[in-house]
Amino acid sequence: MKIADLITWFEAWANPAWCESWDNCGWQIEPGVLQEKARVLVCLTPTLAVMQEAIALNANLIFAHHPLIFNPLKSLRTGEAIAEMVRLAFTHNIGIYTAHTNFDQVQDGTADVLGQILELKEVTPIVPTQGGLGYGRVGLLEPFLTLQELLAAIQTRLAPPNLIFSPTADLQQTISRVAVLGGSGASYISAVAKTGAQAYLTSDCKFHQFQESRDCNLILIDAGHYATERPACDRLVQKFQSLNLDWVQLSKNDEDFRQFFA
């Protein structure tokens, strides 16, 4: 499959026109690779480490969730990471394509995969957008779990380096309804509270957002940005493999930019 055909297939599923006004979905760098057979390296974040990996593997497309370029660039200068990414992309003929908030909304996107990992049933979006799609997912646990069992399942299945949750007096309380949203989802706390969810799994939550969640009688669980979104990248690789591409692989140099001192 040519890169142009792969992008056409993907955009029929996750239209970049659905992305938010502040976002930057679609082509980040297209150095003239559209008619080449697709050799795709999938990653969460396009970094220099991922670019070096793509060069070593002879990939011609980096397919990322996070945009390389969020804001309009005023300059490109030697020594800057984005400038180096641009130089290497054109030197080695490697395109960079991003699917961000459009990929968040769709079936088998970031939120949907997270709900599947927790085996949620009767799943619906936290905030619907169009055609049954939307941001986040909320559904039922079957069987119900205690809070301690839910936290253990998240730790086992997502392997976050650090798992933060709201203070609670009873780890043995029964949890039946859970909301999930991969990446930075604290701004959806009030919307989640209206769904009747007892617990909300997301990331990048600040101190007072845990307070807000507590005041909404909602258990907030922060498993980190990388751990909550990386699984959807793995699912995307599986979807691409079903298209019989020339070559596709999940990046091994993708990074969680945080470390925790034991």
Supply the DSSP string of 173-226, one letter for each residue: -EEEEEEEEEEE-GGGHHHHHTTT-SEEEEE---HHHHHHHHHTT-EEEE--HH
Report pLDDT for 168: 78
pLDDT tens column, 103-151: 999 999 999 999 999 999 999 999 999 888 999 999 999 999 999 999 9
Q: Is 100 part of any known ligand binding site? A: no
What's the whole-model pTM score?
0.95
Indicate whether 71 pLDDT > 90: no
Length of the chain: 262
Output the pLDDT for position 107: 95
Integer Cα distance of 50 and 195 in angstroms: 38
pLDDT recorded at residue 55 = 98
Contact 108, 238 (CB under 8 A): no
Check whether 99 has a pLDDT greater than 80.
yes
DSSP helix/strand/coil, 43 = strand
Whether residue 228 contacts residue 155, with contact meaning beta carbons closer than 8 Å, is answered with: no
Please give the domain boundaries of the chain with CATH numbers for all domains.
3-103 (3.40.1390.30), 110-227 (3.40.1390.30)
Q: What is the pLDDT of residues 229-248, one digit of tens each?
A: 999 999 999 999 999 898 99
pLDDT of residue 4: 98
pLDDT for the residue numbered 170: 87
What's the rounded mean pLDDT across residues 70-98? 95
- Across the chain, what does the average pLDDT equal? 96
Whether the upstream peptide bond of residue 16 has omega within 30° of 0, thus cis, is: no
Annotated binding residue 92:
no
All residues at 6 or more sequence positions from 161 whose CB lies less than 8 Å from its CB, including other chains: 224, 227, 256, 258, 259, 260
Question: Phi and psi for 247 in degrees, rounded to 5?
Answer: -165, 140
Quick one: pLDDT at residue 169? 72
Tell me the pLDDT band of 228, cut-offs 50, 70 and 90: very high
Q: Which of 162, 166, 182 is nearest to 117 (CA)?
A: 182
What tokens were used for 17?
Answer: 């026109």
Are residues 129 and 106 in contact, defined by beta-carbon separation less than 8 angstroms?
no
Statement: residue 262 has pLDDT above 90: no
Evaluate if residue 261 carries a pLDDT over 90.
Answer: no
Site of tokens 């709201």: 166
Q: Is 208 annotated as a binding residue?
A: no
Q: At residue 167, does pLDDT exceed 90?
A: no
For residue 220, give the amino acid letter. L
Pairing assessment for the beta strands 247-250 and 39-43 based on DSSP bridges: parallel
Distances (CA, A) of 105 to 3, 11, 134, 250: 23, 13, 5, 21
